Chain A
C-alpha cells in the first residue's frame, strides 16, 4: 500500500515539474540587459533565440551538469569551463543515462594489469558529486565476498560504461545492500544487456530487500527506507526512530532552496549544453542502428 502511495506521489511530482517548466519556457524571458550597448544587446537577443527548449528530465538524466548548490563555492565562469570540459570528455566516451539501482559494467585501463582492460559489473548503489568530480559506486558479490568499486565518471582511464539493465529503485541510495542477504547484490559477470525500448519511461523496480539480522553498519530503521522488508526489530527501535525523525523538513522551503539549483538556472545551464548532448545522443542512436546483428548466446 505504502509503495502505491509513493508511486502516486512521484508521478504527481513529475507532473508538477512538467507544468512548471512548460510555463517557464512559454513565457518570454525578460532581460535586464537593457543597459548593455547595442552590439552586446544584439548578441544577448541572439543567444535568447538560440536557446532551445530542453526536456524536463535532463536534470535526472544528466544530474552532474548541475553545480554544487553551496552558495559559497559557486562561480559562473568555473562552472562554464567545467561544463565545456565535461562535454569534451563526453565526445570521446559514451556516458549513458543510468540511475541508482541500474546495473552497469565499467571497463577501465589499469597500469598494473599489463595492458589488459579491467571490467567490473555491479549494481549502482550511489551517485554523488557534480561536475568533473561526479562519481558512482558499483556493488557486486564475487566469490561470496561483497565488492564495491567507486568510479569517477570523467576519469579518462575509463574505456567504456555499459548499462545492462536500466531501472530505478525505491530509494535514492542503496547502501543497505551491504547489510542485505548476498543474493540481492549478486549479478553474473557475463550478464547480457536487456533490450530497451526507445522513449519508454524508466521502470521502477519495487523489490523489497531482506536485511540480515543486526548488527548493521547503520541504523536502517531510522532512514525511512522504502525498498526494505520488515526489519523485525523490537518496538523500542521504532519508537526511538520516530523520536529522532524530522518530518517537518520537507516543508522547510529555505532548506530545499539552498540544497537545489533554482529552476531558472537549471534551464539556463541545460540550454547551454543541450544542443551538444542532443547531437551526441542522435549520433549514438545512429551507431546502434548500424551495428551488425550479433547472434545470441545459448544459455543453460
Chain B
C-alpha cells in the first residue's frame, strides 16, 4: 500500500468507513440514545393492538430522507446583503460555471480515489442519474436506422457511502427470513444548486463530502469493492459504447383513463344499434359458479406515473463533452426532460464480459477520451455516404 493510500485510510478510518475497531464517541452517544428511543411500529388501521402482529414490515426511511424544501420568505435583504451571501456561497463551493451545457458550480473538491477494488463478475457498480433529453435516429454501417434516446448525465457526484453492515434496507423482511445484506449503499446527487434554496438539515447531508447541495438524490446498492470516494463526479464515461444498461423512470402521467386507452380494449361498434356503450369494457365476469369478478380484471383507472424499468438497452454512442449517452429505444419511461436512473443491466446474457471502468471513470487517472465515441457498427455523420459492395 502506498503512503498516500495509508493516509487516505487513516483519514476516513475514523468516520465514514469504520465498521470494525473501537467505537467512536459519536457512536457511543448514539448507542446511549438508542436506549431512550421509543419503538414505533406501523399498525394497519384494521389490526387491533394485542392481537397477532401483522406481517407488514416496518417503515424505515433512510437517513437522507429529510425535509428538503423550505418556505422562501421575503427576508428583506438589500442588494449588498444578497451579493455578500452569494460571495460566501462561491467562496465555499467555487464560482458558478457552465460545464457540459449545464449551469452548475465548480466544485473545489479534488481528492484522490479510494484504493480501487478489483472488478469481478459479482461486482455491482453504481448507477447514474440522467435526464432524458430527446430522441433522434442514428444509422448503422449496413444502412439500417435505429432510434436512440439521448440521456444526459447531469452533474452527478457521490455524496455518501454506507458500508453493508451499517446500511439497512428501508423495508426488511421478518427477522427469521432476513439475511444480512451484502451490499453497501452509495448516495448520489445530481444538479448542484444554491444551498439557500434548501433546508438546513438537507444541506447538512452534503457537508461531510463538501459537495454543493444537489436537487436530486438517488441511492445505488453496490458491492463493497465498488465503493467510491464521496465527492467524486460520475460522468457519461462511467459507461462504454456497446454496454447494455437498464433505465428506470417514471412513466408519463395520463390520469384516469378508460379501458381503451389503458388496456387497449377494442371498445364496441360505433353504430348498428349500439347505444351509450362505444368505449366501454363490456362484460367483466361470468355468472354461474364463479359469480364474482376475478382479481386482476382490467378496468378503467389511473394510468401512468409509475416507476418502470426498461432493460437491456445498448449504448451506441457517447458524447463525453456534454455527457450524453445514446441508448437504443424511443420508449424510455417518462417525458422529455424528466429524470431517469441508469444501471448496469441485470440481464444475464448482456452483463459485462470485460471489466468496465471500475468503480467508475476518473478523469484525472485515465487517458483522455474523444468528444464523440461511436460503437464500431454505427455510421458516423462525418464519414462519407454508405456504399454497398457488389455481392456475388
* Chain A residues within 8 Å of B, Cβ to Cβ: 36-37, 40, 72-82, 85-86, 88-89, 91-93, 109-111, 114-116, 131-133, 152, 154-159
Q: Which residue of A lies closest to B141 (CB)?
A: A156
Question: Which chain A residues border B69 with CB–CB below 8 Å?
Answer: none
Q: Shortest Cβ distance from A31 into chain B, in angstroms?
A: 14
Q: Could you tell me the distance between the alpha carbons of A155 and B139 in the complex, rounded to whole angstroms?
A: 7
Question: Which chain B residues border A89 with CB–CB below 8 Å?
Answer: 381-382
Contact status A109-B95, CB under 8 Å: no
Question: Which chain A residues border B145 with CB–CB below 8 Å?
Answer: 152, 155
- Identify 26 residue pairs between A and B in the complex whose beta-carbon atoms are under 8 Å apart, listed by A's number: A72-B335, A73-B336, A75-B133, A77-B152, A77-B322, A78-B133, A79-B134, A80-B101, A82-B134, A85-B381, A86-B381, A88-B381, A89-B381, A89-B382, A92-B382, A92-B383, A109-B386, A109-B388, A115-B387, A132-B136, A155-B145, A156-B139, A156-B383, A157-B139, A157-B386, A158-B385
Does B337 have its Cβ within 8 Å of any Cβ on chain A? yes
* Chain B residues within 8 Å of A, Cβ to Cβ: 95-98, 101, 133-134, 136-137, 139, 142-143, 145, 150, 152, 319, 322, 324, 335-337, 379-391
Q: Shortest Cβ distance from A240 into chain B, in angstroms?
A: 20
Q: Which residue of A lies closest to B100 (CB)?
A: A77
Question: Which chain A residues border B337 with CB–CB below 8 Å?
Answer: 75
Contact status B336-A75, CB under 8 Å: yes
Q: Could you tell me the distance between the alpha carbons of A77 and B381 in the complex, rounded to whole angstroms?
A: 18
Contact status B143-A157, CB under 8 Å: yes
Q: Shortest Cβ distance from A41 into chain B, in angstroms?
A: 12
Contact status A111-B142, CB under 8 Å: yes
Question: Which chain A residues border B95 with CB–CB below 8 Å?
Answer: 37
Q: Could you tell me the distance between the alpha carbons of A154 and B385 in the complex, rounded to whole angstroms?
A: 10
**Partner of A93 from B137, B322, B324, B385 at Cβ < 8 Å:** B385
Question: Which chain B residues border A152 with CB–CB below 8 Å?
Answer: 137, 145
Q: Shortest Cβ distance from B272 into chain A, in angstroms?
A: 24
Question: Which chain A residues border B335 with CB–CB below 8 Å?
Answer: 72
Q: Which residue of A lies closest to B140 (CB)?
A: A156
Q: Shortest Cβ distance from B104 into chain A, in angstroms?
A: 12
Q: Could you tell me the distance between the alpha carbons of A154 and B138 in the complex, rounded to whole angstroms?
A: 10
Q: Could you tell me the distance between the alpha carbons of A13 and B391 in the complex, rounded to whole angstroms?
A: 54
Q: Shortest Cβ distance from B249 into chain A, in angstroms?
A: 15
Contact status A75-B390, CB under 8 Å: no
Contact status A81-B319, CB under 8 Å: yes
Question: Which chain A residues border B319 with CB–CB below 8 Å?
Answer: 81
Contact status A156-B150, CB under 8 Å: no
Q: Which residue of B lies closest to A37 (CB)?
A: B95
Q: Could you tell me the distance between the alpha carbons of A49 and B319 in the complex, rounded to whole angstroms?
A: 28
Q: Shortest Cβ distance from B51 into chain A, in angstroms?
A: 51
Given A72-B335, A111-B142, are A156 and B385 also a contact pair (CB < 8 Å)?
A: yes
Contact status B152-A159, CB under 8 Å: no
Contact status B387-A109, CB under 8 Å: yes
**Partner of B96 from A37, A92, A154 at Cβ < 8 Å:** A37
Q: Shortest Cβ distance from A28 into chain B, in angstroms?
A: 23
Contact status B133-A88, CB under 8 Å: no
Q: Which residue of B lies closest to A84 (CB)?
A: B381
Q: Shortest Cβ distance from A131 into chain B, in angstroms?
A: 6
Q: Shortest Cβ distance from A73 into chain B, in angstroms?
A: 5
Q: Could you tell me the distance between the alpha carbons of A178 and B389 in the complex, rounded to whole angstroms?
A: 36
Given A114-B391, A155-B139, A156-B143, are A81 and B98 also a contact pair (CB < 8 Å)?
A: no
Question: Which chain B residues border A156 with CB–CB below 8 Å?
Answer: 139, 143, 379, 381, 383, 385-386
Q: Could you tell me the distance between the alpha carbons of A73 and B96 in the complex, rounded to whole angstroms?
A: 27
Contact status A77-B101, CB under 8 Å: yes
Question: Which chain A residues border B322 with CB–CB below 8 Å?
Answer: 77, 81
Question: Which chain A residues border B387 with CB–CB below 8 Å?
Answer: 109, 115, 159
Question: Which chain B residues border A82 with CB–CB below 8 Å?
Answer: 134, 136
Q: Which residue of A lies closest to B150 (CB)?
A: A78
Question: Which chain A residues border B101 with CB–CB below 8 Å?
Answer: 76-77, 80
Given A92-B383, A156-B139, are A74 and B336 also a contact pair (CB < 8 Å)?
A: yes
Q: Could you tell me the distance between the alpha carbons of A199 and B381 in the complex, rounded to whole angstroms?
A: 30
Contact status B391-A109, CB under 8 Å: no
Contact status B96-A36, CB under 8 Å: yes
Q: Could you tell me the distance between the alpha carbons of A82 and B115 in the complex, rounded to whole angstroms?
A: 40
Contact status B143-A88, CB under 8 Å: no
Contact status A77-B139, CB under 8 Å: no
Given A72-B335, A72-B336, A115-B389, are A133 and B379 also a contact pair (CB < 8 Å)?
A: no
Q: Could you tell me the distance between the alpha carbons of A175 and B81 in the complex, rounded to whole angstroms?
A: 65
Q: Which residue of A lies closest to B335 (CB)?
A: A72
Q: Shortest Cβ distance from B107 into chain A, in angstroms?
A: 15
Q: Shortest Cβ distance from A230 into chain B, in angstroms?
A: 35
Question: Which chain A residues border B386 with CB–CB below 8 Å?
Answer: 109, 156-157
Q: Could you tell me the distance between the alpha carbons of A152 and B383 in the complex, rounded to whole angstroms?
A: 17
Question: Which chain A residues border B382 with CB–CB below 8 Å?
Answer: 88-89, 91-92
Q: Which residue of B lies closest to A90 (CB)?
A: B381
Contact status A109-B150, CB under 8 Å: no
Question: Which chain A residues border B389 with CB–CB below 8 Å?
Answer: 115
Q: Could you tell me the distance between the alpha carbons of A72 and B335 in the complex, rounded to whole angstroms?
A: 8
Q: Shortest Cβ distance from B387 into chain A, in angstroms?
A: 5
Q: Which residue of B lies closest to A93 (CB)?
A: B385
Q: Shortest Cβ distance from A2 into chain B, in angstroms?
A: 38
